Structure 1
Amino acid sequence: MTAVEQAHALRDVVGAHAAESEQLRTLAPAVVDAMWSSGLMSAFNPSAAGGSEPTFAEMIETWIEMAWQDGSFGWVGIANFPSSFAAASYLPDSGFAEVFTANDNRVTMGGQFFPNGQGVAVDGGYRLTGAWSFGSGTGHAEYVAAGFFPMVDGEMRWAGEGIPDMQVAVVPRDQVSFKDGWHVQGLRGTGSYDYAIDDVFVPHDRTFALFTREPKRGSSPAGRMGMMPVTAAGHAAWALGVAKSMLDDVAELAATKFRMSDMASLASRPTFQKDLAHHVAAWRAARLLVLDAFTGAEGAVAAGAELTPTMRADMRVAAVFATDTARGCAEWAHLAAGTTSIREGSRLERAFRDIYTGTQHAFISEKVAIDAAQVWLGVVEDQFGL
C-alpha cells in the first residue's frame, strides 16, 4: 500500500481513540501501534531505514488524510515522520547503524530542531546541554532530536559568513528529562512536551547539520532538498487536512441543521451555499498552490538542478498561504455550524481548537512570508532559514 492508503486504513482506530489521546495528552498507544503495524510510521524514511521514499505529492496527501482524521494524529505525522526521515538520511553510517539498523528500523523520533542547546566540543563529540519547548511526538519516541550550537573553546562555530553552525543531536530517550507542561487549548494529543538535556555526551556520529542537503542514503529528491521543505510541506498539509475535515463536517451537518426560529435547513440557505462554494474553492486553490510549489522544486532537483533561494521561498510562501487559507475556512465552518461546533468532544469542536493552536507555529508565521518576499524582490540574495 502507498502511505496515503496506509493512513486511510487507520480512520477507525484514530477516530475511536481521539478522545483518549486528548486525555492522555499524547497519542493513544493503540494508534501508535497501528501506525507501526500498517507501515505508516516508517513510510517516509529512505529505503535503508524501511521507508518507501514517497514523492512530495504523496507526502502532502498522506498528511492531509491524517490531519482530516484528527488534528493531533496529523501533527504527530508532521513531527515524527520528518524527524526520522532526517536522521535516517543524514546521520553518518555508524550513527545510522546504532540508531536504525540495531533497532531493525523500528525507531520513532520527535523533538525540536531549533538550536536551543549548546554542545561543547570534546574528543569524539559534544557535551550537550539545553532546554527545548514543544517537542512534538516525544510522548512515544525512543529517540529525541535536539538542535544545538557547537561551541569550541567557549566560542560559537560558524558555517559561513554571518551564519552560525547549527547541528541536530539524536539522543536516546533515557538521557532526556521531560517536563509535564503540555496543558494546552488544542493539539492536546500530540505529546509536545518540553524537555531538557544536561551535560550529555553525544558522539559526532549521532549528529548532523540542520541545513544539510547532502543525504548519506536515500535516492528521492527530498533528501537533496533538506529538512526545511519537508517540514514546510508538513505544516501546509496539516492545516489543509484539519480545514477539510471542518468543511466536510459542516456540509454533512447542513442537511439536518436548523437554526432556532428558522424553518429552513442550513443547506437550503443561499448564503450558506455561496459561502460553502467560496471556502471549498479557496481550499482547493491553496492545495494546488502547495502541490505546484513543492512538486515543481522536486522536479527541478530530480533533473539535477540546484535548489535555488527562489524555489525555497516559493515553497515557504505556499505553506504560509495554505495555513492562512485553512484558518479562514475553519473559522467560517465553525460559525456556520452554530452551537454544534461548541459541543465538547465533537470533531468540529476539536478541529477548531487544533487549527488555532497549530497555526501559531513560528514556521508558518508572517516573518517567513516577509523573508521570502525579500528574496523575490532582490533585497537579499538568500535567507538561509527558508
Structure 2
Amino acid sequence: ADWHLTGMAIGGKPLKILVPQAECEIIDNWHVVGLAGTGSKDIKMDNVFIPDHRTIPIGEKGPLFDKAPIFRIPQWSVNPFSLVGVTIGIAQGAIDQFVEDMKTRASRFGSKVAEFQSLQLRLAESAAEVDAAKKIMLSDLRETMEFLEHNEALSIEMMARNKRDMAYCPILATRAVDRIFYAAGAGGLFLSEDIQRSFRDVHAGNKQIALNWDINGTTYGKVALGLDPAPVRW
C-alpha cells in the first residue's frame, strides 16, 4: 500500500487522515494470540504535514453527504458492523470445519463421535447462535440503509439499538466457538487444528473497543430508560 488511513485528534476533535507510506515508520509490534494475520501494527510519524484535503472530520457532514446514502452512515452507530462480520465469519468457519471433522472422527475405542448426543446438542446450539447473530446484523443494516436511502436521520433509539446489537453479535459468535472448541476435546488443542485458531481469533475479534458490551449495552440501557447516553468515542 502507498497510503495509511489512520486516526488522530486535534483540540479534542477526532479526524481521519491520509498519510503517504513513505512518511510513516511501521513498528513491528503486532505479536498477539489471535488475529495475528491482520498485521495491525503501530505506525510512527515525525513532523508530517497533513493538508486539509487529506483529512476527514468525524461527526461532521462531508462534501459528499448528499450524494449517496453510503456517505450519510453515522460513524459509531453503523460502521463497527464491519468488525462484527469478522467474528461471525470466524464462528461460521469454525462450525463448518467442526462438522466435517466430527463426521469421521472416532474415539480411542472405535465409537463414532458424531453419534454422541452431547456433541449434537452443542453443535445445534452453536449453529443457532451464529444464525441469530447473522440475522440480527443484517436486519439492523437493512433497516438503517432504508432510512438513509430516504434521507431520514437515524433516531437516538435506533443508533442505541445498533450499538447494542453490534456488541451482542460477537458475544454470540464467541459463545458458539467456545462451545464447539470444548466439544472438540483434546484433539482440538493441536496447533495443526483449525478450531484452536478460530478460538483464539474470535476472542481477539471480541476485544475491539467499538464492540465492547459494557459500553454499548450501557448506552442502550440509558436511552431505553430515558437517560442522557453521553456520546462515547474511542
Settle same-fold status: TM greater than 0.5.
yes
1:211 and 2:55 matched: no
- C-alpha change, 1:340 and 1:211, in structure 2 (3 Å) is farther
Counterpart secondary structure, 1:200: coil
> What runs of 5+ residues in structure 2 fail to find an aligned partner?
none
Shift of 1:171: 0.5
On the 8 A contact 2:65/2:72 being kept in 1, the answer is: no
| Partner of residue 150, structure 2 | 303
Note if contact 1:166-1:210 (Cα within 8 Å) is conserved in structure 2: yes
- The answer to whether residue 164 in structure 2 is matched with residue 317 in structure 1 is yes
Is contact 2:15-2:55 (8 Å) kept? Answer: yes
2:128 aligned with 1:271: no
Structure 2 residue 200 is the aligned partner of structure 1 residue 353: yes
TM-score scaled by length of structure 2: 0.90
Are 2:188 and 1:328 aligned?
Answer: no
TM-score normalised per structure 1 = 0.56
3-state SS of the aligned residue for 1:289? helix
Q: CA deviation at 1:306?
A: 0.6
Q: 5 Å matches for 1:1-386?
A: 141-150=1-10, 156=11, 164-214=12-62, 216=64, 219-261=67-109, 263-365=110-212, 366-380=214-228, 383=231, 385=233
CA drift at 1:258 = 2.1
**1:142 is matched by which residue type in structure 2?**
D
Offset from partner CA, 1:322-376 (integer Å, 9 cap, x none): 1000000111111111233222133222222211212111111121221232122
1:187/1:358 contact within 8 Å kept: yes
Name the CA distance, whole Å, in 1 between partners of 2:37 and 2:66: 31
* Contact 1:213/1:225 (8 A) holds in 2: no
Structure 1 or 2: more strand by fraction: 1
- The letter of the residue matching 1:241 is G
CA displacement, residues 99-140 of structure 1 (integer Å, 9 cap, x when unaligned): xxxxxxxxxxxxxxxxxxxxxxxxxxxxxxxxxxxxxxxxxx
In 2, the alpha carbon distance for the partners of 1:285 and 1:204 equals: 43
Provide the secondary structure at the position in 1 that maps to 2:18.
Answer: strand
What residue identity is the alignment partner of 1:224? Answer: R
User: RMSD of the alignment, in Å?
Assistant: 2.1
Offset of 1:221 from its aligned partner?
Answer: 2.0
Q: Which residue identity is paired with 2:205?
A: G
Q: Give unpaired runs (5+ residues) of structure 1.
A: 1-140, 151-155, 157-163
SS of the equivalent of 1:341 reads helix
CA distance in structure 1 between the aligned counterparts of 2:66 and 2:33, rounded to whole angstroms: 38
Counterpart contact for 1:317–1:368, Cα < 8 Å: yes
| Structure 1 runs (4+) greater than 6 angstroms displaced | none
What amino acid sits opposite 1:243 in the alignment?
Answer: A
Q: 2 CA distance for matches of 1:213 and 1:341? A: 49
**1:95: which partner in 2?**
none
The letter of the residue matching 1:197 is M
Q: Alignment identity in percent? A: 23
Does the 8 Å CA contact 1:375/1:382 hold for their aligned counterparts? Answer: no
Q: Residues 272, 194 of structure 1: CA spacing in aligned structure 2 closer, same or farther, 3 A cutoff?
A: same
Please give the secondary structure, in 2, of the residue aligned with 1:227: coil
CA distance in 2, matches of 1:266, 1:215: 59
- Asked if the contact 1:225/1:307 (under 8 Å) is kept, the reply is no
The CA distance in 1 between the partners of 2:33 and 2:4, in whole Å, is 24
Code of the aligned partner of 2:147 = A
Which one has more relative contact order, counting CA pairs under 8 Å at least 6 apart? 2
